[in-house]
Structure 1
Amino acid sequence: MAIEKQTTISKMALAMIPREMATWSTAAIMLAALEGGLAGVIVKSIFAGQAAPIWVNLAVAMVVGAPAFANILSFVFAALGHGRDKVKVMSYSMSGIGLGLLFMAIAPINATGLAVFTFGLVLSRVFWAGVVTLRASVWRMNFSREVRGRITSRLMTASSLVMAISSALIGYWLNDHPLAFRWIYPLAAIVGLVIAWVYRKTRIRGGHRLRKDENQSNSGQLGRLSAMLGILRKDPAFRHYMLAMMLFGSGNLMLMAPLIVVINEHFDLPRLQQILITSSIPLLMVAISLTSWARLIDGKHILEYRAIHSWSFVLALGSFALAAISGNTTGFWIGSVILGIAYGGAVLGWNLGHNDYSDNKDSTLYMGIHVTLTGIRGLLMPMVGVLVYQWLNTINPELGPKALLLPFGLVVSGAVLFVLLAQQHKKHQS
């Protein structure tokens, strides 16, 4: 059944879908160049030997965690967009992504270049965090809850498919031409500038009313730590959800950095295969699985959804840990497929989950809290994973791969907590 028949969504909002589809599908080309798994493999393979191994591995942790920890500054963008034209702020942010991409393109192949490359990626991801934070409010206003998950899934499916193809092509080029990033990143920067110009024409349904409501709510405190702490203090249900996400998300965000290091140092797979396992295959599976996850999330409270979805991550991280410890590389490929399926569900939950706790005027603030806490996890957890790996590897190289058991354990604990919270929520609703 067509979406138009399932909801009272306005004609203006329906007319926006093609532009949203074109915008975020094109943005996926740019994002593929910034994808954590791809960037981590580039750092590990190109800058290896240019600095001490510990610094190279920590740089891997930084670029892998950057998509998440850049979100620490999301509250700044929430403040910039509060009571203002969010589309215009998003356009400026997308232009800023191009600057970071240019830093990455000019990075020399030495220790200094390692720092420049890492800085450029983090800068780009900071601006992208601003786009994501404000985009959630745009989608909330333009698409009703009944179809928001399904529309988001369509947008993210197209985006993930383009990212999967783009990252695979980049991996193919880098496999034979390691310095291909010199022209890949400037092209990605141009894409970002084009998107920024096109997206400025997007309209927000009820945008004037939203700006008025925002200026009357939290106008003096948005963007300050006290505002976020106030929400967490006054809303225990959201606080408990954030606690479960902290535990569960810590395991997810810890995984990729030590996984890249383990595959590179203990299995020595070709660069293309490393990129396929850590980037291209998961992105492809995101595109394939999103529609199914969208049917599950529509009409469900986020806790009910997470209580089911979280176990897909348990299977994925379990496969990676088993493969690393047993030495059977087949598990990496299986884990990659399952991880992509899990990511597909995570995309929807991450973008939409806060809406079950907020109203329109507070939506940006709630998303800002969620994104900022994700950023804290993204800053700390990849480095913790790498440091645990380095510690175990120093004791005995055979112990290094066992570092993947830590993120697996965190994800299992988070999944159990989601089940308990969902049961509690259902009990309160009855």
Structure 2
Amino acid sequence: MRSCSSVPRTYSGMGESVEGSRLNRAAGWGRLLPWGRGKAAMGDESPRRFIPFMDTGLMPFSSRGVPSMSRPNYRHELASSLCLSWAVAVTEGTVVGVIVKNAFEGVVSEMMLNFAVATVAAAPSVANIISFAWVRLAHGRPKVPFITSLQISMLVLVAGLALIPRSSLGLHLLVLSVVVSRVCYAGVQTLRSTVWASNYPTRERARLTGRLTTVQSEFVAVSGLLIGLCMEWDARSYHALTPLLALVGMLGVWRFSKIRVRQHRRLIALEQQAELLDRPSFNPAAMMRVLTGDRGFAGFMLCQMLLGMGNLMMSPILTVLLKDRFGMGYEGVLVNHTIPLITLPLFIPMWARLLDRVHIVWFRAIHSWSFVLAIGVHLVAALEADLWLLYAGAVLKGIAFAGGALAWSLGHLDFAPAERSSQYMGVHVTLTGVRGLLAPVLGMQIYVMMEASYPGRGSWVFAVALGFTVLGAVGFGVLGQAMSNRRGGLGKPEGPVG
């Protein structure tokens, strides 16, 4: 475990050291908001820093303010994210779920259709359950070529969707293709954090990866909306659209292949020299060794499990309700996918500045309540069949996802030594896969049972999701206080690049 004693600003509870207090008195908590004034972490006091959402919200396409040693890699990754996002949208559960619910209606039974929706909604999370396979295979090997091979595999599967017929067999092939493509993309997400840990300084990492997340979310949102509009116009349009999006994605693979990992040879040597028991493994016992060896990380994973269960239960139920309760067709993509992802970039600056300054446990203790609010509003919207509340819930979900995207990709780095970051990420995404396997199916089963016993009352499944989310939010607060008391403070670990 790395020591936090060298960090100039440490956080004990939510209190700060002398230097941290002085900075906060000067700038105030408004620094953590996108419209907040005060000196930024990078020291940029240009006027555009004081305009709402400018830094990482609406203008993420510039390399201005990126440390010079990180700038070339950042530019390549920025271009890669821009191009790949168009194809990634095809595999998003919030997009494919709406397509499945509408395109295959009448082809299979209602129950089979609903569980197909649950499966594709869960696919992005379920795919993570085999993340240790990718971590193990990439262990001690060059990371960028490995990642690009996974990206190409995903794009081939996306292009192959053009061949799927509208039939019972076609539905099964579609679900299988989406799951396998997300398995490939799970490897990209798992290993990309290792590249980030090597290429971006700790104090800038959340801000820079926040920009990359902004680009991806904006173009995934636009691509998802484009798919929905084309399907609304002609349900057969995916035959031409998916190969085109895969072709655009190949440009992203080409740009990602140009990334150079800093001190890559040293990183590979450290991985190769790791003791056998410390190496990533398919064996669940290896995951247990990580968790038992780091009690703080184990507690963090438990709270994350509770929070994620509530969040993942919500997605397939919302997809079904958009069609059955609100009468939406392919335009359901707008509520389920596009609005949250368009909202997300506007609030990444707020969450990124907070994450750059506090330990991930305290970040989650604050951020988790945004998910509580979002699910609560969806519950009321579904019970009252209120379309405006549904749109408000979509915006709130985007605000919550803004922080969740950063915390999910970077949170484990506040616990993991540099040479074990892939292993910690492997544990993290594997447990994400476990809850992704359980939560959507559990949520759909509760929904089906309630609708069978009490027609029109299936929306109450959102209350179950809300309960899980509240437990997770409270758990992060309790964990943060316990870790602070045990360590005499819970600061942001330093991990200099160089």
What is the TM-score of this pair, normalised by structure 1?
0.96
Distance 2:353 2:67 in 1: 21
Residue 9 of structure 1 and its aligned partner are, at CA, apart by 8.3
Q: Is the 8 A contact 1:258 1:389 kept in 2?
A: yes
Distance 2:198 2:206 in 1: 13
Specify the alignment match of 1:317 in structure 2.
Answer: 375
Q: 1:109 aligns with which of 166, 183, 198?
A: 166
Q: Is the 8 A contact 1:320 1:332 kept in 2?
A: yes
Residue 5 of structure 1 and its aligned partner are, at CA, apart by 5.2
1:114-263 → structure 2 map (5 Å cutoff): 114-219=171-276, 221-225=279-283, 226-263=285-322
Distance 2:276 2:110 in 1: 47
- Residues 1:78 and 2:135 aligned together: yes
Q: 2:451 aligns with which of 367, 390, 393?
A: 393
CA deviations 1:193-240 (Å, max 9, x no partner) are 332233222100010000000111145642222221111111111100
Residue 10 of structure 1 and its aligned partner are, at CA, apart by 6.2
- Residues 1:265 and 2:265 aligned together: no
Residue 44 of structure 1 and its aligned partner are, at CA, apart by 0.3
Q: Is the 8 A contact 2:83 2:251 kept in 1?
A: no
Residue 246 of structure 1 and its aligned partner are, at CA, apart by 0.6
Distance 1:63 1:288 in 2: 27
Bigger fraction of residues in helix: 1
CA deviations 1:76-129 (Å, max 9, x no partner) are 111121110000100100011023213422111111110000111111111000
CA 1:321/1:36 → structure 2, altered by over 3 Å: closer, same or farther?
same
Q: 1:291 aligns with which of 338, 341, 349?
A: 349
Q: Is the 8 A contact 2:79 2:252 kept in 1?
A: no
CA 1:321/1:312 → structure 2, altered by over 3 Å: closer, same or farther?
same
Q: Is the 8 A contact 1:164 1:283 kept in 2?
A: yes
Q: Is the 8 A contact 1:319 1:334 kept in 2?
A: yes
Q: Is the 8 A contact 2:77 2:255 kept in 1?
A: no
Distance 2:254 2:384 in 1: 50
1:342-357 → structure 2 map (5 Å cutoff): 342-357=400-415
- Residues 1:62 and 2:133 aligned together: no
Partner of 2:416, secondary structure, is: coil
Distance 2:135 2:119 in 1: 24
Distance 1:327 1:16 in 2: 48
Distance 1:4 1:313 in 2: 29
Query: In the alignment, residue 433 of structure 2 is paired with which amino acid?
Result: G
Q: 2:388 aligns with which of 310, 327, 330?
A: 330
Partner of 1:179, secondary structure, is: coil
Query: In the alignment, residue 74 of structure 2 is paired with which amino acid?
Result: I
RMSD: 1.7
CA 1:97/1:218 → structure 2, altered by over 3 Å: closer, same or farther?
farther
- Residues 1:12 and 2:69 aligned together: yes
Comparing 184-193 with 237-246, which one deviates more in the overlay? 184-193
Q: 1:418 aligns with which of 463, 466, 476?
A: 476
Distance 2:223 2:120 in 1: 18
CA 1:336/1:94 → structure 2, altered by over 3 Å: closer, same or farther?
same
Query: In the alignment, residue 344 of structure 1 is paired with which amino acid?
Result: A
Structure 1 segments unaligned to the other structure (5+ residues): none
Specify the alignment match of 2:426 in structure 1.
Answer: 368
Query: In the alignment, residue 454 of structure 2 is paired with which amino acid?
Result: N
Q: Is the 8 A contact 1:9 1:143 kept in 2?
A: no
Comparing 234-243 with 258-267, which one deviates more in the overlay? 258-267
Partner of 1:12, secondary structure, is: coil
Query: In the alignment, residue 243 of structure 1 is paired with which amino acid?
Result: L
Q: Is the 8 A contact 2:81 2:212 kept in 1?
A: yes
Query: In the alignment, residue 286 of structure 1 is paired with which amino acid?
Result: L
Distance 2:390 2:339 in 1: 11
Q: Is the 8 A contact 1:69 1:375 kept in 2?
A: yes
Q: Is the 8 A contact 2:151 2:185 kept in 1?
A: yes
Residue 394 of structure 1 and its aligned partner are, at CA, apart by 0.7
Residue 396 of structure 1 and its aligned partner are, at CA, apart by 2.1
Query: In the alignment, residue 285 of structure 1 is paired with which amino acid?
Result: T
- Residues 1:303 and 2:361 aligned together: yes
Comparing 142-151 with 182-191, which one deviates more in the overlay? 182-191
Residue 150 of structure 1 and its aligned partner are, at CA, apart by 0.4
- The runs of at least 4 aligned residues of structure 1 exceeding 3 Å deviation read 1-6, 8-12, 218-221
Comparing 335-344 with 413-422, which one deviates more in the overlay? 413-422
Query: In the alignment, residue 262 of structure 2 is paired with which amino acid?
Result: R
Residue 184 of structure 1 and its aligned partner are, at CA, apart by 1.8
CA 1:185/1:219 → structure 2, altered by over 3 Å: closer, same or farther?
farther
Residue 12 of structure 1 and its aligned partner are, at CA, apart by 3.2
Larger Rg: 2
CA deviations 1:292-328 (Å, max 9, x no partner) are 1111110210011001100000010001111111221
Q: Is the 8 A contact 1:100 1:122 kept in 2?
A: no
Q: Is the 8 A contact 2:102 2:329 kept in 1?
A: no
Residue 259 of structure 1 and its aligned partner are, at CA, apart by 1.1
CA 1:113/1:237 → structure 2, altered by over 3 Å: closer, same or farther?
same
Partner of 2:165, secondary structure, is: coil
Q: Is the 8 A contact 1:70 1:122 kept in 2?
A: yes
Distance 2:201 2:282 in 1: 29
Comparing 71-80 with 195-204, which one deviates more in the overlay? 195-204
Specify the alignment match of 1:383 in structure 2.
Answer: 441
Q: Is the 8 A contact 1:253 1:381 kept in 2?
A: yes
Structure 2 segments unaligned to the other structure (5+ residues): 1-38, 45-64, 490-498
Residue 3 of structure 1 and its aligned partner are, at CA, apart by 7.2
Q: Is the 8 A contact 1:97 1:192 kept in 2?
A: no
Query: In the alignment, residue 120 of structure 1 is paired with which amino acid?
Result: S
Partner of 2:140, secondary structure, is: coil
Comparing 362-371 with 402-411, which one deviates more in the overlay? 402-411
Specify the alignment match of 1:52 in structure 2.
Answer: 109
Distance 2:129 2:421 in 1: 17
